Structure 1
Amino acid sequence: MNKRYIYSACLAVGLLITTSCEKFLVQDHPTSVYDELWWNTAADAELGLYRCYVGIPHGLSGRQIMFLDALSDQLVARQNTRGEYEAYVRGIQASNWDRANHIYMDNYKTIRRTNRLLENIGRVYMEEWKRERFILEARALRAYYHMELLMLFGGVPIVTTALSPENSYMKRNTEEEVYAFAMSELKACAEKLPTRYDFADRTRITSGIAYALMTRLALFFHDYEAAREASLKVIELGEYELYRAPNPADSYTNLFRYAGEENKERIFFRDQGSTGAFTAIGIPSEGGQTVLSPTAAIVDTYQLKDGRNLNELSADSIELFRRDPNHKDMRDPRLKASVFLVGDTFMSSTLNPFDNSGVNSNRLGIQYSTSTGYWVKKYLDERDKVNTASTRILDFMIIRYAEVLLSYAEALVELGEWDHPDVLYYVNMVRNRAGMPNISLNKYNSQEKMRQLIRQERSVELAFEGVHYFDIRRWGTWKEVMNGTVYGAVDPETGRRIEVETRTTNGERSFWWPIPEVEMLSNPNMEQNPGY
Structure 2
Amino acid sequence: MNRILKMIGLSSFLAAMTSSCNSMDPVLTSEFTDATFWESTANADQLVNMAYNQMYSADKMWNDEALSDNIFEGRSPTNQRLIRNGLANPTNTLFASEWADAYRGLKTCHVFLANVNRISDATEDWKEIRSAEIRFIRAFIYFRLVNFFGDVPFFTSDITVSEAGNINRTPKANILTFIHEELSNISSRLPNRNELANSDRGRITKGAVLALQARAYLYESNWQKTADYCDSLMQKQEIYGNYSLLKNYEDIFQPANEYNEEVILDYGYVSNAKTWNKLYDAAPLSAGARLNAYAPVQELANNYLTINGLPINSDPTYSENNPYVNRDPRMGATIVFHGGQWTNLSGETRTIYIKPGTGSNDTERSDEYAGANSNASPTGYYVKKYYDHTGTQDFSSGLNVIMIRYADILLMYAEAQQQLGKLDANIWNQTIRAIRERAGFTAATALDFPTGMSTSNLTTLIRNERRSELALEGLRYFDIMRWKAGKTYLEGTVYGAKFANGNSDYIRLDNRRFDENRDYLWAVPSAQVDLNKNLLPNNPGYAN
The TM-score bracket by the shorter chain reads: 0.7 to 0.9
CA contact (8 A) 1:155 1:175 kept: yes
| Equivalent in the alignment of 1:413 | 418
Alignment correspondent of 1:477? 485
Moved more, 101-110 or 440-449: 440-449
Q: Is the 8 A contact 2:110 2:156 kept in 1?
A: yes
Matches within 5 A, 1:155-234: 155-168=151-164, 169-196=166-193, 197-234=196-233
Counterparts in 2 of 1:308 and 1:15: CA distance versus 1, 3 Å: closer
Task: Measure the CA separation in 2 of the matches of 1:105 and 1:442.
Answer: 47
Q: Distance in 2 between matches of 1:380 and 1:444?
A: 40
**C-alpha contact (below 8 Å) 1:353/1:370 kept by paired residues:** no
In the TM superposition, 1:174-323 aligns within 5 A as 174-196=171-193, 197-235=196-234, 236-237=236-237, 238-244=241-247, 251-272=248-269, 275-288=276-289, 289-314=291-316, 320=319, 322-323=320-321
1:133 and 2:133 matched: no
Determine which of 433, 439, 442 is the counterpart of 2:438: 433
Distance 1:367 1:209, change over 3 A: farther
The answer as to 2:353 corresponding to 1:354 is no
Structure 1 unaligned regions, length at least 5? 18-27, 245-250
- 1:57 and 2:67 aligned: no
User: How far apart are residue 234 of structure 1 and its match?
Assistant: 2.0
| Percent pairwise identity | 26
> Which residue of 1 is the match for residue 106 of structure 2?
111
Deviation string, structure 1 residues 478-520 (Cα, Å, up to 9, x no partner)? 1122111111101272421111221122233111111111111
In the other structure, the counterpart of 2:347 is none
Deviations 1:207-230 (A, max 9, x none): 111111111111111111221122
Task: Give the 3 Å change call, closer, same or farther, for CA 121–323 of structure 1 in structure 2.
Answer: same
For residue 524 of structure 1, the aligned residue among 492, 509, 533 is 533
- Counterpart CA distance in 1 for 2:400 and 2:477 is 21
Indicate which of 497, 503, 510 corresponds to 1:489: 497
1:369 corresponds to: 376
Q: Which moved more, 1:471-480 or 1:31-40?
A: 31-40
Q: Take 1:292 and 1:94, find their aligned partners in 2: how far apart are those partners?
A: 23
Residue identity opposite 2:485 in structure 1: T
Give the aligned partner of residue 247 of structure 1.
none
SS of residue paired to 2:204: coil
Given residue 539 of structure 2, which amino acid in structure 1 is its aligned partner? Answer: N
Q: 1:439-458 alignment to 2 at 5 Å? A: 439-443=447-451, 445-458=453-466
Given the alignment, which residue of 504, 508, 511 partners 2:520?
Answer: 511
Partner Cα distance (1:388, 1:88) in 2 = 28
Distance in 1, Cα, partners of 2:414 & 2:8: 42
Point out where structure 2 has 5 or more consecutive residues left out of the alignment.
Answer: 19-26, 345-349
Amino acid at match of 1:79: R
Distance of aligned partners of 1:388 and 1:372 in 2 relative to their CA distance in 1, 3 Å threshold: closer
CA contact (8 A) 1:362 1:370 kept: yes
How far apart are residue 140 of structure 1 and its match? 0.9
- Superposition deviation, residue 150 in structure 1: 1.0
Q: Which residue of 2 aligns with 1:422?
A: 427
* Matches of 2:374 and 2:212, distance apart in 1: 38
Partner of 2:94: 99
Return the alpha-carbon distance in structure 2 between the equivalents of residues 287 and 240 of structure 1: 36
CA distance in 2, matches of 1:308, 1:401: 24
Letter in 1 for 2:398: I
Q: Write the letter of the residue equivalent to 1:88.
A: I
Conservation of the 8 A alpha-carbon contact between 1:58 and 1:275: no
Q: CA deviation at 1:199?
A: 1.4
State the SS of the aligned residue for 2:493.
strand
The alpha carbon displacement at 1:32 in A equals 5.7
Query: What SS does structure 2 have at the residue aligned with 1:268?
Result: strand
Supply the distance in 2 between the matched residues of 1:407 and 1:511 (Cα, whole angstroms).
21
* One-letter code aligned to 1:275: W
Cα shift at 1:367: 4.6
| Counterpart residue number, 2:393 | 386
**Retained in 2: the 8 A contact 1:67–1:292?**
no
Asked whether the equivalents of residues 58 and 274 of structure 1 are also in contact (C-alpha less than 8 Å), the reply is: no
Deviations 1:218-277 (A, max 9, x none): 111111122112222222224211111xxxxxx112222234334111111111287113
Q: State the alpha-carbon separation in 2 of the partners of residues 117 and 16 from structure 1.
A: 14
**How far did 1:361 drift?**
3.4
Instruction: Report deviation, 1:381.
Output: 3.0
Equivalents in 2 of 1:278, 1:512: separation in Å? 29
**Distance verdict in 2 for CA 1:9–1:451, change over 3 Å:** farther
Q: Quick one: which amino acid aligns to residue 461 of structure 1? A: E
Please give the secondary structure, in 1, of the residue aligned with 2:113. helix
Matching residue of 2:81: 86
CA contact (8 A) 2:5 2:161 kept: no
Q: 2:22 corresponds to which residue?
A: none
**Farther off after superposition, 330-339 or 35-44:** 35-44
Q: Matched residue of 1:183: which SS?
A: helix
Deviation for aligned residue 1:137 = 0.9
CA distance in structure 1 between the partners assigned to 2:17 and 2:378 by the alignment: 42
Counterparts in 2 of 1:387 and 1:87: CA distance versus 1, 3 Å: closer
- Name the structure 2 match of 1:325: 323
**One-letter identity of the residue aligned with 2:29:** P
What do residues 443-499 of structure 1 show as CA deviations (whole Å, max 9, x unaligned)? 454433332221111010001111111111112221122111111101272421111
**Aligned residue pairs, count:** 504
Structure 1 residues 290, 444: CA separation in 2 closer, same or farther (over 3 Å shift)?
farther
Aligned to 1:468, which of 476, 479, 486?
A: 476
Q: Secondary structure at the match of 1:485?
A: strand
